[in-house]
Chains A and B, each alone.
Chain A
Amino acid sequence: MLTDYNSWELESSSVEDDSQLTLVADGDQTDRKEFLNFSPSSARTASKASTKGKTCASNHIQCEIANSSSVDEPGQSKERELRALMTASLDGDGSAYHTLLKQLTGHLRAYYRHRFARIGHGPTEAEDLLQEVLIAIHTHRHTYDRLQPFTPWIHAIARYKFLDYLRRTKSSFKDLPIASAEEVTAKSDMGAVESALDLQRLMSKISSKARQVIQHVKLEGLSVSEAAVRCGMSESAVKVAVHRGLKALALQIRKESEA
């Protein structure tokens, strides 16, 4: 049983962290230079500074300024981009939300594959957890405070879900890398694999009302009002049923990994 969330984080060294990160940089769209820029770890910052130092050794101070800004900027622009998408999503902009989830999927896939490789679990299981996390992000999107930065929010969820996965699968874990909020957005992996989860079978386990409205609204693309007419329910009842149904679906996915 995992009780202390922080103890294991302190055990590993950032040097090891670095080598592990390099090992997983195999996704087709993973840009090594990009993740170097995002990474806040002091070890990597130092190594980057040394390579840059060769090219502009003439002016030491100028070089330092250039390095510090190049380390921070991409992480910040990523943060700005994701945060703008999230804010639009909270206002109900479906296409912004679609873009956001696509981007997060890439980052989370890289994040989980890296960790799953270290506990001896494969990419299919990582994809299962990724899907569970996407539903969790969706059903808990109201917990994001627009006044706060977005990256720590998504990182806290990603990490919580990983620890929860370890606990319920009773996986052993050792020398996991030091986590920092920017780590989730540091890399992206678009190499999707089919997860082992069967949507139709999972749907069959939730209540028939929830199944019906999810089928109409989320899969057949009916509007909430059309679905309301077809199911003989009020619009707000449809919204509530969709929300509860998705939560029930997430619960079913979680149960699958326990079994």
Chain B
Amino acid sequence: MNTDRLIDMLSAELEAVNSGRLGKTLILAIVTGGAIAFALMLVTVGPRPDLQSTAHIEWVAVKLLFALSVIGTGALLLNKSMRPGLEDATNWTMVLFPFLAALAVAFAVLLGQPQAWRELLRGATTVSSVRCLVLIMSFAAIPLAAVIYALRQGAPTRLKLCGGIAGIVAGGIGAAAYAFNCASDTIPFIAIWYSAAIIICAAIGSQLGPRVLRW
């Protein structure tokens, strides 16, 4: 085939394109994924029964704050990762900030109350930590598919990185849904187990990236 002919072919009847559509698709995918994860939480484990109490609502808010900051920073980076050429100008470590902040607060809390260490590591929390991991990851599955669908409309060039961040965003969505059910009201628990669940999602995403995001 002659390259000149291909160029004639591509530029014939050229359509104008809207480059802002890409970001909107990503937001739509995150919102849709979030709604599905929330609905899944409602029909499976349901919200915690003691939600009437203000103190418990405050804890839900704390968990949501963490999950939403993870989603927010991740979405910002995903929006850049689907457009080629922004790789070098992007601060990819930003994605870790919410985790580092949560761990710092957790560390401060643990320094203040040494008995909390024992609580954290003892058998009493093992059930809730496994539950936390499993539920966050299950709630994250459909959001991950939605985010990957949105990314496929773009042109990511670092597939592992992009897939990993997609996993983080999906994990964040799963964590936001789980926050309504989770009865473990301590900062160290959130910082460790929520983060662990989200990071497993990131690992899965980075493995999927090179396979599903190729173009």
Contact = CB atoms under 8 A, between A and B. Distances in A.
Given A5-B158, A131-B1, A239-B15, A145 B83 contact: yes
B120 to A, nearest CB: 35
Contact of B7 (A102, A160, A202, A217): A102
A36 interface: no
Given A131-B6, A143-B154, A221-B12, A152 B85 contact: yes
Nearest to B87: A156
B78 to A, nearest CB: 13
Interface string A185-199: 000000010110111
Contacts of B82: 143
A140 B213 CA distance: 13
A185 to B, nearest CB: 13
A141 interface: yes
Given A101-B11, A131-B6, A194-B2, A146 B19 contact: yes
Contacts of B4: 192
Range class of the B interface residue count: 35 or more
Given A89-B14, A145-B19, A131 B84 contact: no
Nearest to B157: A160
Interface residues of A, number: 59
B27 interface: no
A94 B11 contact: yes
B14 A92 contact: yes
Q: Which of B9, B83, B85, B214 has the most CB of A within 10 A?
A: B85
A152 B16 contact: no
Interface in B175-209: none
Residue among B5, B19, B82 facing the most chain A CB atoms (10 A cut-off): B19
Given A143-B22, A156-B157, A135 B10 contact: yes
Contacts of A95: 11
A138 B154 CA distance: 12
B84 to A, nearest CB: 3
A219 B1 CA distance: 13
Contacts of A89: 14
11 contacts: A98-B8, A101-B7, A102-B7, A131-B6, A148-B86, A157-B84, A160-B157, A194-B2, A217-B12, A218-B10, A222-B13
| Among all A-B residue pairs, the 6 with the closest Cβ atoms | A92-B16, A152-B85, A156-B84, A153-B85, A160-B157, A94-B14
